[in-house]
Structure 1
Amino acid sequence: MSEKEYTLRKEFRVDLLLYVFYRAESCEAVYKKTAIDLADRMRCNFPAFSGNRLNLEQHVLKSLAEKEDFDDFITYITNPRRQTEAFIKAEVEKYIFRDQKDEAVNILKKNVDDIKTTVSQALFTATQKVQNQRGNTEMWLNDFSNVLKDELTIYNIFSENFSDIKDFHFLIEEIQKGFKSITEKMSSLSLDKLKESRLKPEEILIDQLCNCCWVKCPFCAAVCTNTMKAHSPDDHSTPFHRPDGINGYPYRKTKDLSVIFCTTLVRSEGGFYPSSEKAIPYKQYRIAGPPYDTWSITPDRSDLAYWKWFVCQFKTQLENHYGKKFQGSGAIPDLWKYISKEEAIRSLEEMF
């Protein structure tokens, strides 16, 4: 192989590895930092994500009412975590790519500039040290990688492919030329590519906001709103109890969907049959054992207008979905039919 051919091959290898570095490390580092920054920004500034678990649940329910999509409601009723994750994803999408797009673009640009500055400084620092100490290519690779280790993982990429290039000055010259091209390309990184990055802002927020309790009320299946996933010995609880019929439960030995709230049941004189023909008084529901004995259901009149509106709004769909009717003992009270969507949403807001 001629010297010219060998030089061209080395140049090609440097260009190829720098391209890999650009695609696999530099761009990913920018998008990772941008995802983290945007998630942090939303945790601080976005109302649905800036409070506690009760606050998040309130916003999920408000969103469901605003959209009036029955399938989404059923997903929430049967799998509240899935619907909550869908809500987070949708809100992140709107925030980044519509409502606060300019802010998101500015964050991306800042992170591009930060990475460019970091890489340029690493190049300068490593090169100066090697020149002052009369070092070699291996020393430069070590120093360059160490300076960037908190931002980029590049040692394996470079050491495995550049270690046989003994001409230090040639390597530095080619890398500096290559990085100039890389920094120019990085300036044109698109916010849309954030959707393809390994770490996404919605995933960060889901990990933070959904790492909580998802145990359901044994009567109405409303989800516990404790922020901690494992919060024993504290009982499960929620302020969002609803009529049992929303979860498909009928009155015993009928197909009449229940319109009674849990909070009303547990102060009534009636009973329920968890596993046998022996009735358990609602007032003593905890003696039924698991899962009843791990729940604290306050016996009061906290019958949320939100769920009354929901039953009226989706009466036919609920009946078709469960194959049961709001009739007989489960007839919908007339007063419920006058509750507007605005009043339903307001009842959520007035809870706190």
Structure 2
Amino acid sequence: MNDPSVTLPFPREPKYGQAEKDAVLQLLDDGHLSEINRGPATNALEAAFTRLTGTRHALSFNSGTASLHAALHAVGASPEAGVAVSPMTWVSAITAVFQAGSYPVFCDIEPDSPNIAATAVAEAADAFSAVLATHTWGIPARMDQLAKATGLPIVEDCSHAHGALYQGRAVGSWGAAGCFSLQESKAVSGGEGGVLTTTDREVYERALTLGHHPARLAAGLTLPELKPLATTGAAYKYRMPALSAVIARQQLRSLPDRMLAAEQNLATLRKVLEECDAPVTWPSIGELSVRGWYGTPLTISVRVPDPAELSKRFKAASIPVRHLYEDWTQAPLLQRPELAARFWPHVARSPYRPPTSEELPNFHKAMRQMIILKVPQILAPDYMEQVGETLATVLARTLVTA
């Protein structure tokens, strides 16, 4: 018996609409595509992110990875003590720790969410100089619990979670710094780019010194211990192109409407799956929290014997699933410190220890049991009903016949 298939096309609008095109053309007409200081394009985007997050400062970068590097540098990530990281994240959130002169220490995720577990952080807090908490797949991490687990600075990786709230408060405002990616696939895109948010002036200025132009350093540095860096900084070229800034600014304007449509689509999908008694559970985010929209994680509540076969059947049925991240903990770069030391020589002298599979049981269970769905950001009830019915049928047939 063949599985049913989703026959309706995935609902989408052009990633970049007329507003983005108009902003780019205006910038081209103005003739200034590079802003070495806090020019109009940069200023508008950074101001928009302070409003989005309720923070005092925002600092633009040419990538989300650069913003993570700067944030970890700014909060004092150390070569003597590592940075707590989740294994369920993109690899750049791990290598940014090396870039900042420290090393990753992997902590397991929660049993009921894709995010780093506060209990795992608390168990090894003495081994850390900072915590990097990713709001994975847009699900807000439990920031209050992480703060209680350790007094160390927390950097939020918000690359999946533009516009998300945890307990009524914006992600990117809970930790010492928040970092947003503006890469093409994200809910807010500049093509490429990143933004750091913080209310701590010292964190802001220390991040500024890593990769911005001396003109901006001279105008922005106020702390006596940092002023000697005004003429050079660290001279990484991390500033955002003006083109990325004006595009992302327009994307921010449409974000609330797109988030609302996605939330309504998810409600439709959930209703169908519940009516079909599909064996799936959903991460709990709480009544006062709002999720971001990069992917929607569902956990299959009965054992999946062959995740690859299930994924194959989802794709054959045109169910809009996206790949889980690789298990980076087992990649050669993370398993063989001599390879990492080719890029970051301090690793050879650090206490870095390659992670083992046994240390991360919740993560490895999630890698077998979790699926990530793409949810449209325009209202599409008919499509979501068809996806829900097809998903439930494929799950039933695959898991019953396995």
TM-score by length of 2: 0.21
With CA pairs under 8 Å and 6+ residues apart, which has the higher RCO, 1 or 2? 2
Q: Which has the higher strand share?
A: 2
TM-score by length of 1: 0.23
Q: Which has the higher helix share?
A: 1
Please identify the structure whose Cα radius of gyration is greater.
1
